Every structure is written in C-alpha cells, then in structure tokens.
Amino acid sequence: MTVTSYLGAIGAAQREAMEADERVIIIGEDVEANVYGTMGGGKSRADKGDFLQMFGANRIRNTPISEEVMVGAAAGAAMTGLRPIVDLSYSTFLYMAMDQFINQVAKSRYMFGGQASLPVVFRSAMFYGLSTAAHHSDRPYPMFMNMPGLKIMVPASPTDAKGLLRSAIDMDDPVLSFEACLLWGMKEDIQDGEFRIPFGVARTVRAGTDVTVVAISTAVPAAMQAAQKLEADGISVEIIDPRTLVPFHSEAVLNSVAKTGRLVVADPANRTCGAAAEISAIVAEQAFDCLKAPIIRVTTPDTHVPFSPAIEKQLYPNATTIADAVRKAVATKPKH
C-alpha cells in the first residue's frame, strides 16, 4: 500500500496503461508539460520524468485548442487500432465537441451495425467550487447519461480513480471520466501495482440501517461527514457510491433501500434531469413498496455557477444539506 493522491492515482493508471500497451496514446491541450500533474512519474519533470520523456512525442501529443477534432480524431483513431486517452482539461470544454461526442463517438458502433469499435477515454476535470464561474464550473455528466453509447465514470477516491480509469482504458467502448478538482488532493493508501475496478459495481462506502444515501463525486466525502454527525444523533446512514453512472448498479441501491426504507440522493449536478433524478426514478419504479418516506434529492439548484465564493459554495450538496435531508427522511413516519 502507498499513500497516493487522486491526481497521482490518475497518473499511475495512465502510466501503467501506456507501459502495458503501445496502442495507448494521450492527446490534449498542454499534456506535454504535465500541467495538471497526471502525466508524470512524480511531482516534477526532474523527479521521475514526465510522460513525454518516458513515452516520446509520438504517443504524448499536445493538441491545438480544437476540441471538435480532438474528440473526433480520437474516435477515428480508436476505430483504426489506437486506444487514445483524450485530456480535455475542463469539463465545460466538452461542449465544444458535442457533435463529435453525440453523432460520432456515441453512435458509430450502433449505426454501422457493430463494425466500429471505439476504445477511447475522454478525461475532464470538473472545477466547481473553485471560483472559476459558469464557463468553467459545470458538472455535465447527466447530459451524457442521456445519450446511449457512452460509459460514464465519476470516481470519488484515489483507489476508484486508478482502478476505474484502468478498466476504462482496457474497454472497447468510449468512456467519459468526470474528475472533480475538489478531490484532486484527497489521499489514501492504495494497493500497489496494477489493479482494475469493474464498471457497474457500486461501492458501499459505509454500512448503515436507517437511511440510504447515494452520493456522487464530491458528495461522497460530504455524505461521510454527514453520516458521522448523524451517528452521534443515533441515525445510522448507509452510503453508496455508484462510481459509474453508465452502467449504473441499480441492484446495489435497491438492496440497500430494501434494508433502510429511506433514500437520499446527493448529486452535485443540476437538479432537472440530473443523475439524482434518474436514480430516484429507478427506486420509485422498482422499490416503491420498500419506501417508508419520500425520496429526497440533494442537488445543485437549477442555476448557473456564480463567481463569488460567498454565493457559490453553498449551492452544492454539503455535509449540512445532506444531514438535513437524512433527518427529514427519518422524521417521516410511514403511514402504512
């Protein structure tokens, strides 16, 4: 076991994949300079060397600021033998390439009757909570959940970031990885060497009996804080991190709700048609008879992200809002 940060874990997964398979390449803006610290062996070029030194300019490629061709060319390269990783830096930059994501990346395997295979990973960082304002701060995964053909990972720990990313690179389907910047510095002991975490398998972050909290991305550590506070009040919270939204491990959530009878979904994305809405619908449709209280969503309201920290930070699910929702769920007494 080695203490590793979230960013370090992403770097390790990329490095191991690059070492294991010559077909893996990384393209993106500023990837050669290792701007975000995910493209190197250590903290600096002098430390253990960066990817450009390790793998050379044929496989580590700076791109122009041209998201459409970055995304489309990665898809075309994936269809013809490479396994590209595209570093799109900010998640909001994905919008520049929407046609390529939707009409080409998501649909090519289907529309061409299975002839196309797209082993490609699109990584991007969600900078919300860091005063980067509306053009840099979205959590856009729900809009991609709405488009079949894409797989979506939202790792909330260094272990998950490394294991899921390695699975994503091995996969023959296109994967979008949404990495929250607020988690970049999170550190934990992680298993040494190569390992993979399968898609579609949720993690029970904390076992409990009174309320199920399904938490996504930064809502996971927030839910943990809430659960610790609530424990002092005698409320036992079970926290489930789906880790991947597509595929989504509905059984894990349904089994937990069958046990607790109460569900809070904490999702940093916007409210309407968000991940929380979909998860709530699955439970309402498939486990209605288990519910002792209405499902409660804790999301970001349907607004844009303001610049000022005085009005930004409280918009996202946090330990207080999640704890309040749990208390409200527990306070509701079943009528039957």
Partner 1 sequence: MTLANDTLLEMQRRMLRIRLFDERASKMVKRGEIPGTVHTSIGQEAQVVGACMALAEGDTMTGNHRSHGHPIGKGAKLGPLMAELVGKAWGVCGGKGGSMHLADFKVGSLGESGIVGSSIPIATGAALSSKVLNKKSVSLAFFGDGAANQGCLYEAMNLSSVWGLPIVFLCENNQYALSTPAYTVTAGKIADRAAGFNMPGVRVEDGQSVLAVYDAVRTAVDRARSGKGPSLVEVMTYRFNEHSEGLRLAVDYRNAAEKESWLKRDPIKLFRSYLSENGVADEATLADIESEVAAEIEAAVQFADESPFPELSVAYKDIYTEPLGGSQ
User: Which residues here bind partner 1, judged by CB under 8 A?
Assistant: 23, 25, 58-59, 61, 63-64, 66, 68-82, 84, 99-100, 103-104, 108-117, 148-149, 151, 171-173, 200, 246-251, 282, 286
Cα-trace Rg, the chain: 20
How many CB atoms are closer than 10 A to CB 89? Answer: 20
Parallel/antiparallel/unpaired status of strands 244-246 and 151-153: antiparallel
By beta-carbon proximity to partner 1, the closer residue of 75 and 186 is: 75
**Residue 30 CB, nearest approach to partner 1 (Å):** 15
**Residue 151 CB, nearest approach to partner 1 (Å):** 7
By beta-carbon proximity to partner 1, the closer residue of 103 and 332 is: 103
Cβ-in-10-Å burial (0-12, 13-18, 19+) of 98 comes to: middle
How many CB atoms are closer than 10 A to CB 53? Answer: 14
Place of tokens 């036992």: 236
The catalytic residue among 135, 136, 249, 336 is 136
By beta-carbon proximity to partner 1, the closer residue of 244 and 300 is: 244
By beta-carbon proximity to partner 1, the closer residue of 25 and 153 is: 25
**Residue 70 CB, nearest approach to partner 1 (Å):** 8
How many CB atoms are closer than 10 A to CB 233? Answer: 10
CA torsion sign for 90, 92, 96, 97 is positive
**Residue 3 CB, nearest approach to partner 1 (Å):** 33
How many residues are recorded in the chain?
Answer: 336
Q: Are 106 and 154 in contact (CB under 8 A)?
A: no
**Residue 176 CB, nearest approach to partner 1 (Å):** 13
By beta-carbon proximity to partner 1, the closer residue of 33 and 111 is: 111
By beta-carbon proximity to partner 1, the closer residue of 132 and 255 is: 255
Active site residue 304: no
**Residue 203 CB, nearest approach to partner 1 (Å):** 15
Sequence-ordered alpha helix ranges (H) in the chain: 6-20, 45-48, 51-55, 67-79, 98-99, 108-111, 141-145, 158-170, 219-232, 250-260, 275-286, 309-312, 319-331
Contacts of 219 (CB under 8 A, 6+ apart): 156, 266, 267, 268, 298, 316, 317, 322
Residues classed as catalytic: 136
